[in-house]
Amino acid sequence: MTPPAKGKPTRKHPVSTFKNVQLHDAINRLHATRQAKAAERLAEQPSLFDTGSDTPLSPDELATTMPAADIPPALENTGVKIEAGNAKRERSKLLPVRHTDRDFFLCDMFDYALKDDGVSMEAPIFTLATKPDLSEWHWESKDGSRALTVTPSTKGRATQFDKDVLIYVVSQMTEALNRGRDDAKNRTVRFTVYDYLVSTNKAINGRSYERLSETFERLRGTTLKTNIKTGRQRTREIFGIIERAKIVEKSPDDERMVAVEVTLSEWLFNAVQSHEVLTIHRDYFRLRKPLERRLYELARKHCGHQTMWSIGLELLQEKSGSKCSLREFRRMVREIIEADTLPDYRLILDDADKATFYTKDTRRLVAGLDKTVKE
């Protein structure tokens, strides 16, 4: 067939145009028929509403307007507001919060700052040893106003690495409190082991799951006796760092822990509820040595927003909870100074055994030094 010459408009064939109109009318009639049938089915089952979700709505969640004669019997005397009028249905764009009275706090926060409780940052509750520490530990502040006795179980005293569980839980709970979540007022905390391992920079393997089980045993078995107040309350009893740990779910393949519940001691819980916590750097979980972590805690606790903090080496050893000789402690501190691994702070040690922590923020440091000179 010869194509039409350029510049001349083509005319539509009348038969083709008629067929297109017929097809369009047929499609319209098909849509109308389907809509009518759908309306009939809805009229037969008026209690079923399209919620846009697989979760059915309860009667209290149905806010509707429809003709008075069409009010379904299932909705009578339920307290649902139904007004006469056209068949327009109105509902909330969000499903309601169905479980507001959980008896545990769910660690499900994704964006939160790491928090450490101020009490354990000050007092050396956790051992720096990497082997089971079976000795009792007593600490007392220089003014004698605060004292702490830590007694281990047969599994050993809770370690500085065991504290990662508490930091994770405290961080999540503090963020939830800041957002006004009611479940954050429960001492029992539930979390998935995978989320915990990822958040605390641990390997995802079988050994990490085994270590967490051992951590729970030491945290539960280590008992404290102290007169240190938390939340303006003094606990006059012997108590564990955590009250209990419970495996909620196990993997069907290898019996690994999937989800766990931990109940905090009232002593620690009171500190969190009173916001007696400090923000710590996320690189804390990258520190390899227990003493590195402990020194960072002390620097964060005592430096705060100051530019520097100085302390004698012997007192620093006492606050850190180290049991080695002063000579060995001095050697380990010098190694940490050389490595320069502490987040936010640097550490120097002079010939008089005076240790000084100072901020890595150059502007803050210069401003602080200028202020000190002027004073």
Query: What is the per-residue pLDDT for 21?
Result: 64
In whole angstroms, give the CA distance from residue 82 to residue 105: 37
Nearest 5°: phi and psi at 329?
-65, -40
Query: What is the per-residue pLDDT for 356?
Result: 95
In whole angstroms, give the CA distance from residue 355 to residue 311: 5
Query: What is the per-residue pLDDT for 212?
Result: 92
162 neighbors 295 (Cβ within 8 angstroms): no
Pairing type for strands 239-240 and 223-226 reads antiparallel
Torsional class of 256: left (φ above 0), alpha (ψ -120 to 50), beta (otherwise): beta
Helix (H, G, I), strand (E, B) or coil at 58: coil
Q: Where are any strands of DSSP class E within 55-136?
A: 63-65, 82-83, 89-90, 105-106, 115-117
Query: What is the per-residue pLDDT for 61?
Result: 46
Residue in this structure with the two tokens 């690189």, named with its chain if needed? 283
Query: What is the per-residue pLDDT for 231?
Result: 74
Q: What domains, with CATH codes, occur in the chain?
A: 101-280 (no CATH), 288-375 (1.10.10.10)
Cβ atoms < 10 Å from Cβ of 245? 18
Cβ atoms < 10 Å from Cβ of 201? 13
Cβ burial 331-367 (10 Å sphere, 16+ → b, else e): ebbeebbeeebbbbbebebeeeeebebbbeeeeeeee
Query: What is the per-residue pLDDT for 172?
Result: 86
Over its length of 375 residues, how does the chain's per-residue pLDDT go in tens digits?
A: 455 555 555 555 555 555 566 666 776 776 677 667 666 655 554 443 344 444 444 544 444 444 444 445 544 554 544 444 444 555 554 545 444 444 445 555 445 677 888 888 888 999 999 999 999 999 888 888 888 899 999 999 999 999 999 999 898 888 888 888 888 888 888 888 888 998 899 998 889 988 999 999 999 999 999 888 787 777 667 899 999 998 887 777 766 778 889 999 998 988 888 888 899 999 999 999 999 999 999 999 998 778 889 999 999 999 999 999 999 999 999 999 999 999 999 999 999 999 999 999 888 887 777 666 666
CA 355 to chain CA centroid, Å, is: 34
What residues are paired with 65 via a beta bridge? 83
Query: What is the per-residue pLDDT for 82?
Result: 47
Which helix (H) or strand (E) segment holds residue 208: the answer is helix 206-221
349 neighbors 355 (Cβ within 8 angstroms): yes
What's the pTM value of the predicted model, to 2 decimals? 0.69
Handedness of CA 365, 371, 374, 375 (dihedral sign): negative
In whole angstroms, give the CA distance from residue 303 to residue 316: 14
CA 87 to chain CA centroid, Å, is: 45
